[in-house]
Amino acid sequence: MVKVIFIKANGEKRELEGQPGQTAMEIARNAGVDEIYAECGGACACATCHVYVDKAWADKLPAPEPMESDMLDFAVDPRPTSRLSCQIKLTEQLDGLTLELPVSQG
Q: Which residues bind ligand FES (CB under 6 A)?
A: 25, 38-40, 42-49, 71, 84, 86
Burial of 42 (0-12, 13-18, 19+ CB in 10 A): middle
Closer CB to ligand FES, 7 or 45, in the complex: 45
Q: Closest distance between ligand FES and the C-beta of residue 41, in Å?
A: 6
Q: Closest distance between ligand FES and the C-beta of residue 28, in Å?
A: 10
d(CA 14, CA 51): 14
Closer CB to ligand FES, 11 or 66, in the complex: 66
| Beta bridge pairs of residue 18 | 2
Closer CB to ligand FES, 11 or 99, in the complex: 99
Q: Which residue is nearest to ligand FES (CB)?
A: 86
d(CA 39, CA 93): 28
Are the CB atoms for 3 and 93 separated by under 8 Å? no
